[in-house]
Amino acid sequence: ISLLLPFPVPIHHLGLFREPTTLQPVEYYNNLPYHSSPPADDHLAILVDPIIATGGTAVAAIQTLREWGVSRIILLAVLGSADGVKRAAAEWEGSVEVWVGGVDNMLDVKGMICPGVGDVGDRLFLTKGK
């Protein structure tokens, strides 16, 4: 994404995963600088999440960025559930834009999008079957 922008921007990592039993977000990494808030120009954060299923991790990330001092967030995702996308967009109305490549209408009891693409974390880190 940084290659698409007309000028260099700082990139930070906010790592969250969804706890499989409770479906609640868990923060495992945060390298947002504690000594400074976002650059004064626009306070825009671009948040990238491959899948928005329940919307819980997106909401937690939005809350963290809002507390850090951003004034606008663009959330990019490949796929989302209708309810998860609505939940993320409603977290901070007027300040969050959600851009998603596709939307499926249903979640199963495990909080997975149906038909969906499976667990992206499992696919990315090859954790299934280990």
Mean per-residue pLDDT pooled into runs of 10, the chain (130 residues)? 79 90 93 72 84 95 93 95 96 96 92 78 59
Query: Which pLDDT score is estimated for 42?
Result: 62
| CB 41, CB 56: distance < 8 Å | no
- Given this model, what pLDDT does residue 43 score? 83
pLDDT at 41: 58
Measured in whole angstroms, how far is the alpha carbon of residue 27 from the centre of its chain?
12
CA angle (119 as vertex; 117, 122 as ends), nearest 5: 130
- Give me the pLDDT at residue 121, please: 61
Q: What is the reported pLDDT for 39? A: 59
Model pLDDT, residue 3: 80
What is the pTM (predicted TM-score) of this model?
Answer: 0.83
